[in-house]
Amino acid sequence: MSEPDYTPVPQHWDPERYARNARFVAQLGQPVVELLDPVAGERILDLGCGDGALTLALAERGVTVVGIDSSAEQIEAAVDSGLDAHVIDATDMPYQEEFDAVFSNAALHWIKNADAVIAGMWRALKPGGRVAAEMGGSGNVKQIREAILEALRRRDIDGSRLDPWYFPTPDAYKARLENAGFIVTHIELIERPTPLPNELQNWLDTFAEPFLSVVPEAERPAFKDEVAETLAPDLLQDDGTWVADYVRLRFRAEKPAGDAEAGAARA
Ligand code: BEZ
């Protein structure tokens, strides 16, 4: 008998569901805005802008900001907020030396081809430009990921090949940035246990779609309850709040002012 076809669907972003279950992502993004240190008049690219909540915050600091995201639904929401935002694949960005800075919050961990994104950031930046970004880092949602994989294993599904997330160590990401020509001026891994606004099951719906998609629809509620039951002893607080085991990788890197060709040759 042939194996069932467990082809995952890619993650998709429903702006209404995102606003309900994931507003905290932008709310907790303030430290990376501070790391960026935007200066009024600068032209900044927000890579993976989603519905534009932080893009708006940057615009309010007096910069000209362009948002890009692979989700047409999220970009529609960003454009509805009055932003200059476009559906663009971050591994294939068209920009050439036109931005003073690239900003990114909670997007880079969705992109497995990190080198293609980094090469695109390099090309997009003017000489002397900078990147300030935060993403999931090594160990991010480790317990949640393990509970999902375990629940899939109980159904004879190998979830590791469905895994949509890339959570690098500081050393690994720093090496990629340096290989592209960047000078890394700051990189740190930060444990940030993160209270969720709703049940863990809502988080799974919002962020773990490729895993859920291989479970027959009728069985998904039971699947999510099973994952939640495994995690409750560690992640569910006495007051009923779920706290996700987030670990952030936050960094700032610079494109040297006089070395544009060296990096371009590497990219
Ligand atoms: C995060 O922002 O850390 C994250 C987002 C989606 C899935 C897992 C982690």
Residue 99, domain member (yes or no): yes
Helices 72-80/15-27 angle, 10° precision: 70
Task: Pick the residue whose CA is nearest to atom 6 on ligand 1.
Answer: 207
Task: Pick the residue whose CA is nearest to atom 3 on ligand 1.
Answer: 136
What is the residue range of 252's domain?
A: 15-140+166-196+244-266
Residue 187, domain member (yes or no): yes
Task: Pick the residue whose CA is nearest to atom 7 on ligand 1.
Answer: 207
9 vs 168, more confident:
168
For ligand 1, the distance from its centroid to the CA atom of residue 93, given in whole angstroms, is 23
Confidence band, pLDDT 50/70/90 cuts, at residue 1: very low
pLDDT tens digit string along 135-185? 999 999 999 999 999 999 999 999 999 999 999 999 999 999 999 999 999
User: CA–CA separation, 104 vs 36, rounded Å?
Assistant: 10
What's the domain count of the chain?
Answer: 1
Residue list, ligand 1 pocket, CB within 6 Å = 106, 136, 140-141, 165, 207, 246
Residue 130, domain member (yes or no): yes
Residue 216, domain member (yes or no): no
Task: Pick the residue whose CA is nearest to atom 4 on ligand 1.
Answer: 136
| Residue range 35-43: mean pLDDT, rounded | 97
Task: Pick the residue whose CA is nearest to atom 1 on ligand 1.
Answer: 136
Residue 227, domain member (yes or no): no
Residue 129, domain member (yes or no): yes
The pLDDT of residue 70 is above 80: yes
At residue 9, the pLDDT reads 74
Residue 9, domain member (yes or no): no
Q: Which helix (H) or strand (E) holds 224?
A: helix 220-235
Residue 241 amino acid letter: T
| Residue range 92-114: mean pLDDT, rounded | 97
For ligand 1, the distance from its centroid to the CA atom of residue 167, given in whole angstroms, is 9
For ligand 1, the distance from its centroid to the CA atom of residue 197, given in whole angstroms, is 14
For ligand 1, the distance from its centroid to the CA atom of residue 156, given in whole angstroms, is 25
For ligand 1, the distance from its centroid to the CA atom of residue 136, given in whole angstroms, is 6
Confidence band, pLDDT 50/70/90 cuts, at residue 261: low
Residue 105, domain member (yes or no): yes
At residue 25, the pLDDT reads 77
* Ligand 1 pocket, mutate which of 165, 167, 227 (most atoms under 8 A from CB): 165
User: CA–CA separation, 157 vs 96, rounded Å?
Assistant: 43
Q: Specify the pTM.
A: 0.92
CATH of the domain at 76: 3.40.50.150
The pLDDT of residue 67 is above 70: yes
The pLDDT of residue 113 is above 70: yes
| Residue range 16-40: mean pLDDT, rounded | 87
- 45-82 burial string, b = 16+ CB within 10 Å, else e? bbbbbbbbbbbbbbbeeebebbbbbbbebbbebbbeee
* Ligand 1 pocket, mutate which of 140, 191, 196, 248 (most atoms under 8 A from CB): 140
Q: Give the percent of the chain with pLDDT over 90.
A: 85
For ligand 1, the distance from its centroid to the CA atom of residue 98, given in whole angstroms, is 29
For ligand 1, the distance from its centroid to the CA atom of residue 264, given in whole angstroms, is 31
Atom of ligand 1 nearest to the CA of 247: 3
DSSP 52-119: SHHHHHHHTTT-EEEEEES-HHHHHHHHHTT-EEEE--GGG----S-EEEEEEES-GGG-S-HHHHHH
